[in-house]
Structure 1
């Protein structure tokens, strides 16, 4: 049975010279939990959906479609072997470190019951300079993009309590084939895939849907 290995939060942001806002909440650490998970509100004004979790730059992180970030322990273990460094739970900035469920092949719009909360997959994490600097890995953004094991963002459909040891049940899989990996490749290296994201409907963040439509207009005008 898939489970939450750890629930991770940043209790406060940390000043750094490499983040655009001068602070970051990427360094998350396991907590005993459980904690309340809710829909925090629109991106740009709202923070994390996990109670007590801090975010440094709300213009690119947090909000309803990035309320919770999940990453698989199996993928962390793979990166450990590749990088030759120890990676603890929360090291990639994820709120939930899972075991026994694959984020990369999850469908956008897939719904997971975790604890008493109902979460919906909304897309992948896109790597940034802050992520690279925090890990201290040169060429990290390019390498992370090439490997395409981005983890998944979730929105909260039903608020509830989530904690370590909670079972994860996939209770709904939509009738399309837009996976987290396809989404990731569409917005990073394979723009021709962007129109396919519309198949996932309103499970896709509004700003990404806008990007798809803008690209379509540009192609029609060219």
Structure 2
């Protein structure tokens, strides 16, 4: 029997200026503050937004989740504590690791219902925000990226809401497997299988299609 999943932290934040390095700055929505409750719409949580709308946000990426269990490993490797929602996630969760969560799985959280759409593709903002120049590299190496979801039913999410599995997608393709295939970028057959999952984010379908065509063109040469 699978362990129940829980919310450790519910967090939201709006884009703001982030100072990093020696006098450098950027506008990003990575910094989040813990809240007790917030309304979740198909576009994401109220009071939450992203700065880089090309690579973040949108209906297929309305909710960002990150497993709490990874924090211990990262803090040990970095030798320091990480801030709340260090990866810019809205939901820091327990018992929802990438190996156990599959593309298309549907969860009820509070009054809302979400569906997992893709593994997160981390960016350098994570290193800048956490002041750790190895974290992005390690997330890619391990596949511990967290994951994103679309909203099937809007509603209020509370910081103590239960996370209940509503439906497991029959394809059973885990987020971790998707990450391994995506970042290694060598297995066209595995990419085709992932691409065939109806619930996969459209952006991932397009990215995988380009990679499949590139790999096939190399074989044909």
Task: Name the one with the larger strand percent.
Answer: 2
Task: Give the structure-1-normalised TM-score.
Answer: 0.86
Cross-structure match for 1:8: 11
Matched, 1:60 2:63: no
Q: Count residues in correspondence.
A: 210
Residues 181 and 100 (structure 1 numbering): CA distance in 2 closer, same or farther, change over 3 Å?
A: closer
Task: Give the structure-2-normalised TM-score.
Answer: 0.86
CA shift digits 1:145-188 (9 cap, x unpaired): 11211111111011111121100011111111311011112222
Cross-structure match for 1:198: 195
The equivalent position to 1:36 in structure 2, one of 30, 39, 42, is: 39
Secondary structure of the residue that 2:85 maps to in structure 1?
coil
The equivalent position to 1:117 in structure 2, one of 100, 107, 112, is: 112
Residue pairs, 1:89-128, within 5 angstroms: 89-128=84-123
Matched, 1:157 2:152: yes
More moved, 210-219 vs 149-158: 210-219
RMSD between aligned alpha carbons? 2.0
CA displacement at 1:95 relative to structure 2: 0.2
Secondary structure of the residue that 1:54 maps to in structure 2?
coil
Separation (CA, whole Å) in 2 of partners of 1:145 and 1:206: 21
Contact 1:2/1:99 (<8 A) preserved? yes
Mark the runs of 5 or more structure 1 residues left unpaired by the alignment: 41-48
Secondary structure of the residue that 1:92 maps to in structure 2?
coil
